Chains A and B, each alone.
Chain A
């Protein structure tokens, strides 16, 4: 155990001593299942630390500074990068708890070696500080890594802290997982927007998102032109450039026109025309000719000519290429922007040919376009990769800026010597490298991606979100959420939001919010994983050896390798084999199935050579279906999930295979119910689901018997589960969150699903087993209102608190760093009774901070700050409308004291208007706290319900699960047992093969055996009259959640108050004590009721009532003014002052005060007149007596 010697933050309360024995927790629960949920985040960041950072640095292009006068050349590049763990002043370890309290960032020092090389001389390496880089919690650089629960408690964390987030300025932020197009897979698509690219473009294109080793991506599009040729489009620095495909083909390798022609047309064979899987058509030859003619037309015959052509055109847009020749520039362009995932030009050539074939096949309708909205063609953006690519760009930017300033200096020529490294470094300091660290911090803090190039991402904002700890489910869901991308939120079409069958098992069909983010913000199914760079043992994978062994295996299975080029054929004879976007060869069609089976076998065997999460995407030969091929993926950030491989499970015992969404679409996976799902014998099931609930997310898995509910209700529950007041944190007393909701006495549900155990939800319970009676009683339970038993509430049901932390930082308040010592926390001795109510010294201690445990009422001071500059004391007053207790005060250990956290506690016991819900999407508002004696009671047991809901809540909503829960919980509580309510339990083949009984029979017989009604009904007596209620009442315990929406935060009242300056109408907004708009529709309602006087009261008397003086002669209300009487001169003080002359109003325009009338009107009317006058429109009022009119 590590000793925390120098505590940054001291709690003012007496510190609690922990002894090792005490920290021993009785249950060291297996947290593996829980840990798995956070893995995508942590693994990606681990990789960034371990290898990704270095690979990225190595991939940054060096810059060369030229001194034209001396001919000296300075080459600047990056060497080793070094990321340290978080420390205080580089010595003591900094712990996350301290960051949360002190509102600082959990970040480590980032050092980069910059190497300087003069004229190919030896490289001089210098270490540069690159600022502080935020460190993900529980990553390899986090101090909490590998800490057991006891140690975590010692570090003032949750015992089950999982990490996966960053701490920035004390706030916890998660990087959102975003959907990206699947890397290194050419997708064919048809979009109208392609037509608008330029003249002659069709809507057809093949798109591939190529990802480099360092995770940066370049998307290459291959457009089909109506003339029959194709254009290759790619992005350089935020602009798309287009090139004729022929030029690129020729520039890639030394080849002949004939070779290109035969490559392109190889997939067409007359023999197979119209056969299953044939993709080529006669038109291929024609198109190949057009492509080649195009190149000819440009006068480019050889590879060198093509490269020169490319280099000439692209040199201006490629940084650092100014001094290079055209040929080199051309080569560099192809290397850096075309198919960047491939290193060899031959591979690039083969891929381009393949893409052309796919494009033409799409045009000829021998294959279908790929659906870009389907999970099949998608992967996910993980935090580590995002940080890597952003960091790369920032470092590259710094390097080019450094070059810029050096060159500028060379031109200026004032005593600057490029040969002196000291001079160079001094100049480079003008643009400090530490800005890079803060850029990353800003990205994580705000979620905004400040980049020039866009990094091949679709959005610039919304990359991170705050990880709210409202309750555990909400916190957990942040890590499981996958967003489709902000770009799709604005789309008017709904196709992207659709639930597609391809996402089966990967994304939860239930857990998505309703409303604007519906279908865009999805959550991963509970067993869904994201592939990473780490293998099962936690070692970084060697992709090269994996790829090599895969190729060897494929060749062993009959694959003809693509180099040397031996075979020229296409589907249906042979299918191309793509390994991570590289054409490795072609397999004869008849051998593919065998190879696939072999690959799957090795996958399951978990050999080091074949990764367990290899995706074997075999698209079989079909008539006009998806373009066939064998696509293998070993890349990280793919979705995978476990299923049972039937062929291997019998011999192997487990036989669990991880499959991806790409291969899933072409696999036969049956449900584990013992049936075959209506399959024909030609395509028998090869795989089986392990458990049906594994398609649901963690939160959706917690709904008991969700298979008996109407599906939207389960969606509502997923929403409400995340808004529940629960047991938010076990380390509550060490937390400094802005707002925490806390349920005082939560319970574990009687009715639970297997997920409760699996994910340890009982550590953070979020509800109460309330006795619920379903009846219409007193009418206060109409329309989803519910009656709470006052005595039950008195006894503590649904009691709760809100914890709010105020951070007071005096250095921030003074604004200026140098003046920081001018303000201190101190109580003033003088103005002790300036505040009404209690004296200040009963609220604030001599140190200017409140007493712990003290109650503070609204508008009472809780903190006093003395300003030495102005010699004045300022107090901070409690905002809001409810009293608060001072829960704790934490101070920054530095002297003089500048930073404190004051945490308030507000009790929130249930009152009328608070919101509650069961776990079945049945929410309701408390309408009455009804006295216990008036509640109906059972004659046998004497029980009174805690809660009454209306029976009308059931017929239209069909939440049968809730009824089952009530019956089962009644039986469970009579037996003293928890009951399992895992959905689809009866659809799983029982191990013993026993026939299942109906669920209701099961539950009813328990009740019967305990002397209760089979259906959960009971005879109740009216609490008011003592007579039997006319029908039997359905009553039983149901787990109820208290939602965070409470009237105390929402009620709005106003009699008088602040008005708008311009209109003199009440302002809006609850915070400012404003009113609620009484709008047009409300006005209509009043009129319909004939309540016009009420209308007058609301819209006029209580709003901007105004008495205006109107000149009836000119009809103006603007020209009237008070006459300013000259102030009577006071001669003698002993005399009484003269009587005030009566106010006189005159009209400026008419120059007299005849015909002045007073008229009551809304003040806005006067404003309107003034506005009109400003436009040179005179508004004239014609006054008449009501009787005359």
Chain B
């Protein structure tokens, strides 16, 4: 196809959206695009996480590294992350990560003074920036506990003390999992299910029932009135081919045909709470664009024009 453009215009349709959860359809594109989006969401959307811990006093049962590691894994509200600088390219502080452009300082002071065991949690972390604070799950989880205390860091008993200063920095999940904003990002191909109604009608009710039951997920059901097999939830189908195998085992191959639509995907995004799931998607697209820009603008690409010809032009938006 000489001169044909590969350009397509993908569409996104949001189905469900909560702060930390998002489900949407991505259509008119291919797996490479969908997967790139997934990979970027997991590994390359920046967030802020504690990266440097200076321990003043630690007489708890956990050792310093352990506490530092636990602090690092606490998700922090990272709306600011996109506009922040990576401390490695921060000019203001020579990259030592101590300035307001690239870092946020936290303090933690806890000392147990009574017999009751003291639980030091993410709520005890005091941030120098009110926009970057530990994620609060108390509303989201809906747990009606009298005192929702955040993420536990360490437990102290009488006489034990923990005092530290922590610096949070911008980073991406590729470097360390603590910077990953996504708990889970997954997609599946949208299935296309065709029941051979003619064959299905010939089945007895018992056979229909056993066939419907053969799918571990609830994809099909039987209409109690008409006793017809219905597709209840095609997206519950996990491509396990259990129903096809069952049909073959029943001696009715071709009873159902299921195809994966190569160009439409159903995405599920769960956020750690660092950024909203919807924002995560937007940020991911932004980063993907930046990456493509980087490719387009790099000198290598211009030089490679001879090699790639049309494709090179296409990559630069031609």
Instruction: Tell me which of B39, B188, B216, B270 contacts A939 (CB under 8 A).
Output: B188
Which residues of B sit under 8 angstroms from A646, Cβ to Cβ?
Answer: none
Q: Which residue of A lies closest to B60 (CB)?
A: A16
Does any Cβ of B come within 8 Å of A573's Cβ? no
- Determine which of A733, A796, A801, A1014 lies in contact with B73 in the assembled complex, contact meaning CB atoms within 8 Å: A796
Q: Closest Cβ of chain A: how far from B111's Cβ, in Å?
A: 11
Contact partner, A942, options B59, B65, B186, B239, Cβ 8 Å:
B186
Q: How far is the CA of A1026 from the CA of B55 in the complex (A)?
A: 43
In the complex, which residues 183-220 of chain B have their Cβ closer than 8 Å to any Cβ of chain A?
Answer: 184-189, 216-218
* Residues of B in contact, count (CB < 8 Å): 48
User: Judging by beta carbons under 8 Å apart, are B238 and A1019 in contact?
Assistant: yes
In the bound complex, how far is the Cα of B240 from the Cα of A1012, in angstroms?
9
Once bound together, how far apart are the Cα atoms of A454 and B63, in whole Å?
51
The one of A795, A1007, A1018 in contact with B177, judged by C-beta atoms closer than 8 angstroms, is A795
Across the interface, do A795 and B184 meet the contact criterion of CB distance under 8 Å?
Answer: no
From B59, B61, B64, B260, A1028 is in contact (CB under 8 Å) with: B260
Interface 0/1 of A877-908, CB less than 8 Å to B: 00000000101000000000000000001010
Q: Mark B48-70, 1 if CB is under 8 A from A, else 0.
A: 00000001001101011110010
Q: Does B283 contact A (CB under 8 A)?
A: no
The 8 Å CB contact of A1017, one of B69, B73, B189, B240, is B240
Who on chain B is nearest to A853 by CB?
A: B64
Q: How far is the CB of B51 from chain A (nearest CB, A)?
A: 12
A1026 in contact with B34 given A16-B59, A940-B238 (CB within 8 Å): yes
* Cβ-defined contact, B268 with A1028, below 8 A: no
| CB closest residue in chain B, given A17 | B159
CB-contact partner of B239 in A21, A790, A905, A1019, under 8 A = A1019
Q: Which residues of the partner chain A approach B42 to less than 8 Å between Cβ atoms?
A: 932-933
In whole angstroms, what is the CA distance A288 to B115 when docked?
85
Give the dominant DSSP class at A's interface: loop
Least Cβ distance of A935 to chain B in Å? 10
Among A801, A905, A1013, which residue has its beta carbon within 8 angstroms of that of B216?
A: A1013
Chain A residues lying within 8 Å of B66, measured Cβ to Cβ, are 744
Inter-subunit contact A17/B188 (CB<8 Å): no
Give bound CA distance, A792 to B42, whole Å: 13
Residue A565 is within 8 A (CB to CB) of chain B in the complex: no
State how many angstroms separate the Cβ of A1106 from the closest Cβ of chain B.
49
Interface residue A937 (Cβ < 8 Å from any Cβ of B): yes
Q: Is the CB of B187 within 8 A of A939?
A: yes
Residue of B63, B178, B239 with most partner-chain A CB within 10 A: B63
In the complex, A942 Cα to B41 Cα: how many Å? 13
In the assembled complex, the CB of A704 is this many whole angstroms from the nearest CB of chain B, namely: 25
Is A938 part of the contact surface with B, judged by Cβ < 8 Å? yes
**Tally of A-B Cβ pairs under 8 angstroms:** 116
Check if B17 is an interface residue, CB within 8 A of chain A.
Answer: no
CB distance from B4 to the nearest CB of A (A): 23
Q: A885, B64: Cβ atoms under 8 Å?
A: yes
B39 contacts which chain A residues (CB < 8 A)?
Answer: 933, 1023
CB neighbours (8 Å) of B139 from chain A are: none
A-contact bits for B153-182, CB 8 A (1 contact / 0 none):
000011110000000000001101110100
| B183 to A, closest residue via Cβ | A942
Q: How far is the CB of A909 from chain B (nearest CB, A)?
A: 9
* B31–A1027 touching, CB < 8 Å: yes
Report yes or no: A933 in contact with B186, Cβ–Cβ below 8 A.
Answer: no
Q: Is A1008 in contact with chain B by the CB < 8 A criterion?
A: yes
Tell me if A421 is interfacial: C-beta within 8 Å of chain B: no
Complex CA distance for A1045 and B230, rounded to whole angstroms: 57
Contacts of A1007 in B (CB 8 A): 216
A943 CB-CB contact with B under 8 Å: yes
Decide: A1028 and B239 in contact? CB cutoff 8 A: yes
Chain B, interface SS category: mixed
Complex interface: chain B residues within 8 A of A1018 (CB): 238, 240
Contact indicator B189/A14 (Cβ below 8 Å): no
Chain A contacts for B73, CB-based, 8 A:
795-796
B10 to chain A, nearest CB (A): 14
Q: Is A941 an interface residue (CB 8 A)?
A: yes
Which residues of chain B are near A790, meaning CB under 8 Å? 177
List residues 66-105 of chain B with CB under 8 A from any CB of chain A. 66, 69, 73
- A907 near B65: Cβ-Cβ < 8 Å: yes
A-facing residues in B1-49 (Cβ within 8 Å): 31-32, 34-36, 38-39, 42-43
Nearest A residue (CB) for B63: A905
Give the residues from 1092 to 1137 in chain A that come closer than 8 angstroms, CB to CB, to chain B. Answer: none
B32 surroundings in chain A (CB, below 8 A): 1025-1026
Pairwise interchain contact B186-A938, C-beta atoms closer than 8 A: yes
Query: Bound state CA distance, A941 and B217, in angstroms?
Result: 13
Known: A796-B73, A937-B186, A1027-B31. A13 touches B173 (CB 8 A): no
Which residues 842-887 of A sit at the B interface, judged by CB distance below 8 A?
Answer: 853, 885, 887
B242 CB-CB contact with A under 8 Å: yes
Contacts of B177 in A (CB 8 A): 790-792, 794-795, 932
- List chain A residues, Cβ under 8 A from B239: 939, 1019, 1028
A795 to B75, CA, bound (A): 12
Contact check, B178 vs A794: say whether CB atoms are below 8 A apart: yes
Given A794-B177, A794-B178, A940 and B64 contact (CB-CB distance below 8 Å):
no
Cross-chain contact B184 with A801 (CB below 8 angstroms): no
A1011 interface residue per 8 A CB criterion: yes
Contact A853 B55 (CB under 8 A): yes
Please, which residues of chain B bring their CB within 8 A of the CB of A325?
none
| B66 shortest CB reach to chain A, Å | 6
Q: Mark B211-239, 1 if CB is under 8 A from A, else 0.
A: 00000111000000000000000001011
A887 proximity list for chain B (CB < 8 A): 63
Given contacts A932-B42, A940-B188, contact A22 B238 (CB under 8 A): no
CA distance in complex: A792, B174 (Å): 12
In contact, A1019 and B240 (Cβ under 8 angstroms): yes
> Quick one: given A795-B177, A1028-B189, are A933 and B38 in contact (CB under 8 Å)?
yes
A795–B42 Cα gap in the complex (Å)?
Answer: 14
Q: Is A273 an interface residue (CB 8 A)?
A: no
Query: B55: which A residues are within 8 A, CB to CB?
Result: 853
Given the known interface contacts A17-B158, A907-B65, the answer about A1032 and B216 at a Cβ–Cβ threshold of 8 Å is no
Contact A942–B216 (Cβ < 8 Å):
no
Establish whether residues B188 and A19, one from each chain, have CB atoms under 8 Å apart when the complex forms: no
The answer to the question of A799 belonging to the interface, with a C-beta cut-off of 8 Å to chain B, is yes
Q: Is A299 an interface residue (CB 8 A)?
A: no
CB proximity of A1023 to chain B, nearest CB, Å: 8
- Assess whether A839 is interfacial by the CB under 8 Å rule: no
Q: How far is the CA of A80 from the CA of B39 in the complex (A)?
A: 81
Return B27 CB to nearest CB of chain A, in Å: 15
Q: Are B115 and A1013 in contact (CB under 8 A)?
A: no
Is A1032 a contact of B59 with CB atoms below 8 Å?
no
Identify B31's interface contact among A799, A853, A1014, A1025, CB under 8 A.
A1025
Q: Is A404 an interface residue (CB 8 A)?
A: no
Interface residue from B35, B64, B216, B268 paired with A1026 (Cβ < 8 Å): B35
Contact with B along A540-559 (1 / 0, CB 8 A): 00000000000000000000
Contact of B174 among A15, A733, A931, A1013 (CB under 8 A): A931
Query: 16 extra interchain contacts, Cβ-Cβ under 8 A, other than A853-B55, A907-B65, A1013-B216?
Result: A17-B158, A22-B117, A733-B61, A794-B178, A885-B64, A932-B173, A933-B42, A933-B174, A941-B184, A941-B186, A942-B185, A1008-B216, A1011-B217, A1012-B216, A1013-B240, A1013-B242
Sample 29 A-B pairs with CB under 8 A, ordered by A number. Answer: A15-B159, A22-B117, A794-B177, A801-B63, A853-B55, A853-B58, A905-B63, A931-B43, A931-B174, A932-B173, A938-B186, A939-B186, A939-B189, A940-B186, A940-B238, A941-B184, A942-B186, A942-B270, A1011-B216, A1011-B236, A1012-B216, A1013-B238, A1023-B35, A1025-B31, A1025-B35, A1026-B34, A1026-B38, A1028-B189, A1028-B239
Interface residues of B (CB under 8 A from A): 31-32, 34-36, 38-39, 42-43, 55, 58-59, 61, 63-66, 69, 73, 115, 117, 157-160, 173-174, 176-178, 180, 184-189, 216-218, 236, 238-240, 242, 260, 268, 270
Closest 3 CB pairs of A and B: A1026-B35, A942-B186, A794-B177
